Structure 1
Amino acid sequence: MNQQDIIDFINQCDSPKIKYAFTDIDGVLRGKIIHRQKFLDGLTDGFGFCDVVWGWDSSDTPYDNGQTTGWHSGYPDAAVRIDIATFRQLPWEDNMPFFLADFSAPKGKTTVAACPRSLLKRIAAQSQDMGFHAEFAQEFEWFNFRETPNSLQQKNFQHLEPLTPGMFGYSILRPSLESAFYHDLFDLLAQFDVPLEGLHTETGPGVYEAAIMHDEVIRAADKAALFKTGVKEIAYRHGVVATFMAKWNAALPGCSGHIHQSLWNKEQTKNLFFDASKADRMSELMRQYIAGQLYCLPHITPMFAPTINSYKRLVEGAWAPTTITWSVDNRTTALRILNHNEAYTRVEHRVSGADTNPYLAIAASLASGLYGIRHQLSLDIPASEGNGYADKRNGILPTNLDEATRAMANSPVAAELFGTEFVDHFTRTRDWEWRQYLRQVSDWELKRYFEII
């Protein structure tokens, strides 16, 4: 639909309300409902949106170290433009029209350093300029609980009731207990233009996994960002709370957000990662892409593991990688290569967790792969054989957010990939997150030290 089609649809729509949104740096979908007339006026003039969304954390607490905005700037409105290409309707809200928005760069700037979607658009443009069509998809695991937001608070997030009990990974039986919820996820997300390739249970009580249909890289990130909030809203309507925490319980598996990716020619007729003439069917371009991702990974880990909790997932033997490794169809390495045939040849980035901001994780994947191509890096790291956790030849991943953030803040590689403004803003937010964690007294500390010390 072009702009005039959108205008005609909105004018004829029964609902006078339009919802629009964008993700903040943590991937939280922020937005509002506006009147039809304000939407139509804004297509020409744009909108203003309080830039505090770049100046506070996921719990709405203002940063004390922000430069992008803050008390020093008075939190003014920033210019926002709706991207009409993202038009869809919310099937669980009477088909209310919905759009994603971008923040417009202020005078003297070419980009909004804090805007994740703007960052991805810049990286995607680099890919296009190099002659590539980037095809991506993200898949997510998440836990579901028979709770409400109120009950979570009343229980202090303890002794929660999972949607279903027991370890029933890939079970056909278990989803039949909650078939209305299960089918609503698949059907309503499809109507929301976030179609799923597959949906199944994973190992753990009440845990599901969904793979989103692959698409052009920006549309793929849009769908991934909308998926997470869409799942939560659908869950609410079934008396369920969904969590995308990377590791909500130390005794259970974590939740991944694996990123599948490939580069095609601009006509989308040839997968440039596939080479049937090679014994391993991997093109030289694919090898350079993998080399770039492995080289850049320790410089940009917070974009794949952005929270304190992320690093509780990245432990040995927990279905998440800990080493800078790659291999063909091996679920213990950071990068898993799938290349049985051209149509489905791709790289699966397994470091990324379910707690990621999809725009940032996908931007990091694409930018680091393109880095390898631009610099013609050789894939000198041999493929891991067997247990990737034991293959430490190329190093290990950072073990906490502070370590990872310091590495990124001081990295010329990160600055080359994303620009100094973004790196400065993002690492300041991660430093803030770490400092909030250090101020807390955990249940573990109380149990460990309260009486005996």
Structure 2
Amino acid sequence: MCDQPMGKISKADLHACLQNGVIDTLIIAICDMQGRLMGKRLTREFLLSQDLDHGTHFCNYLLGTDMEMTTPEGYQHMNWNQGYGDWLAKPDWSTLRIIPWLEKTAMVLADSVDEKTGELIEIAPRTILRKQLKRASSLGYQLHMASELEFYLLKDSYEEVHQKGYEHICLAGHYNEDYNLLQGTRNEPIYAKMRKYMNQSGILIESSKGEAYTGQHEMNISYSEALSSADHHVLFKHGLKEIALQEGVAITFMAKPDHRWTGSSGHIHLSLWDQEGTKNLFDDPKRTQPQMSEKMRFFLGGLLKYTRDFSLFLAPNVNSYKRYAPESWAPVNIVWSYDNRSTGFRIVGKGSGLRIENRIPGADINPYLAYAAMIGTGLKGIEKQIEPTEEFKGNAYQAQNVPRIPASLAEAIHCWANSEIVDEILGEHVARHYELTARNEQQLYDRIVTSWERARYFEQG
């Protein structure tokens, strides 16, 4: 029976809940290139009369748009000449769960599939991650990962922020919130609801805390297998925004909402395990701190060597690059160290908890793409036995003669377009698709006149 279900449920549970009316809506969702959930709400009556295993149709333009849902030219599979046809959203029933903040609602994530061939759509973010996980599995590896996401809570609603022209935004607080329990208490009713709802939906939140600016907060999602972790990441972001809508407030995961504010990070933790998921292959007890195994060294070597090439997946937007500033808690140099928050890669934990923390991504990442970039380059490091550079000691913001994170989206596009390893890991078609997306974003930004420009040049220019 399905009385008051919580968390993840089976397809059989869903059918029982539909029959007795406990659930009357099923959301089926895919993740687009920008990391947003897109999909449909299916009714109880339809679901009781149909088998959804085949999937539901969606217009293929959803994987060829920009942030504002325009339809740029140049994409191979989605254009007006081909009429913007359909692909299938095929449910992955292992992701089925109750959504506690929505009434009588369940959600299932879906893979993007070509109805004619039954094959996964190669440019879809979830497919890109699946490809790297399949490669890892063929080598006898399993990846465990987790996201740490920072965000800003605003007293204004999304509609009010929009009506203000995204200026004079009212932050939820009035002083630095980092670890400050008193400041955090001001918004605890909302944060408590977010933690409760996430845990009830099967997305385990380990903790939440104030972050390094007024109204900024962080929540840590529990470690899990890589695909599940990426699923949790997109559901978490989507869910927090929906809860904010219900509360009449706003939340932003923008990497740098204001040049005066601390940027919001999306740190990624990763470790490499055996096929059974019983042994952390990064750990070598015979070595001194950090107890890096040979595989961990080579994996880290791949990350360090190819981070610039894959910056588009770690910092996907024009705004992403404004987060990188000296002594801002966001790294600028691609170096590593043990438990050093000034570096791009921080080694933390010990034993089964030994892992790499990638501090380069912001909270605006698409997790499927960022995870795929880390896995693909790390595995390439093992394959090529790439030794990492020496551990950096001291303030990494002052490091000289080391690789730097690209300073702009334009520089990241150049790194991507001139990289052989991007094509090798992703395939040429996928690489060109995401390059076009980035170029479209840069070209649009280059044409826009900002309020900063008017204030600076209107009278005196």
- Tell me whether the two structures share a fold, i.e. TM-score over 0.5: yes
Does residue 337 in structure 1 map to residue 347 in structure 2? yes
Give 1:405 deviation, angstroms: 1.3
Say whether the 8 Å CA contact 2:29–2:38 is kept in structure 1.
yes
Does residue 403 in structure 1 map to residue 411 in structure 2? yes
Which AA in structure 1 matches 2:317? T
Say whether the 8 Å CA contact 2:336–2:343 is kept in structure 1.
yes
Q: Distance in 2 between matches of 1:392 and 1:102?
A: 44
Q: Distance in 2 between matches of 1:411 and 1:37?
A: 51
Does residue 147 in structure 1 map to residue 156 in structure 2? yes
Q: Distance in 1 between matches of 2:404 and 2:189?
A: 43
Q: Distance in 2 between matches of 1:105 and 1:408?
A: 27
State which drifts further: 409-418 or 205-214: 409-418
After TM superposition, the structure 1 = structure 2 runs for residues 7-406 of structure 1, keeping only pairs within 5 Å, are 7-39=15-47, 41-105=50-114, 107=116, 110-280=119-289, 281-339=291-349, 341-379=350-388, 381-406=389-414
Give 1:94 deviation, angstroms: 1.9
Say whether the 8 Å CA contact 2:210–2:216 is kept in structure 1.
yes
Deviations 1:247-266 (A, max 9, x none): 01111110000000001122
State which drifts further: 61-70 or 285-294: 61-70
SS of the counterpart of 1:219?
Answer: helix
Distance 1:382 1:146, change over 3 A: same
Deviations 1:11-41 (A, max 9, x none): 3443332111121001011111012354463
Alignment partner, residue 450 of structure 1: 458
Give 1:107 deviation, angstroms: 4.8
Does residue 413 in structure 1 map to residue 428 in structure 2? no
Distance 1:192 1:108, change over 3 A: closer
Distance 1:38 1:83, change over 3 A: farther
**Structure 1 stretches lacking a partner, 5+ long:** none
Which AA in structure 2 matches 1:259? I
SS of the counterpart of 1:85?
Answer: helix
Q: How many residues align?
A: 451
Say whether the 8 Å CA contact 2:301–2:386 is kept in structure 1.
yes
Say whether the 8 Å CA contact 1:81–1:103 is kept in structure 2.
yes
Say whether the 8 Å CA contact 1:82–1:99 is kept in structure 2.
yes
SS of the counterpart of 2:272?
Answer: strand
Distance 1:69 1:127, change over 3 A: same
Give the CA RMSD over aligned residues.
1.6
SS of the counterpart of 1:237?
Answer: helix
Deviations 1:325-382 (A, max 9, x none): 111111111110013x212110000111100011111111111111111112122x11
Give 1:136 deviation, angstroms: 0.3
**TM-score, normalising length from structure 1?**
0.96
Q: Distance in 2 between matches of 1:326 and 1:4?
A: 47
Q: Distance in 1 between matches of 2:82 and 2:435?
A: 20
Distance 1:294 1:107, change over 3 A: farther
Which AA in structure 1 matches 2:276? E
Alignment partner, residue 428 of structure 1: 436
Say whether the 8 Å CA contact 1:80–1:101 is kept in structure 2.
yes
**TM-score, normalising length from structure 2?**
0.94
Q: Distance in 2 between matches of 1:154 and 1:17?
A: 32
Which AA in structure 2 matches 1:85? S
Which AA in structure 1 matches 2:222? M
Q: Distance in 2 between matches of 1:38 and 1:52?
A: 25
Which AA in structure 1 matches 2:423? A
Say whether the 8 Å CA contact 2:11–2:96 is kept in structure 1.
no
Q: Distance in 2 between matches of 1:435 and 1:57?
A: 12
Distance 1:110 1:98, change over 3 A: closer
Say whether the 8 Å CA contact 2:332–2:344 is kept in structure 1.
yes
Give 1:313 deviation, angstroms: 0.2
Give 1:278 deviation, angstroms: 0.8
Distance 1:83 1:186, change over 3 A: same
Q: Percent identity?
A: 33
**Structure 2 stretches lacking a partner, 5+ long:** 1-8
Give 1:204 deviation, angstroms: 1.0
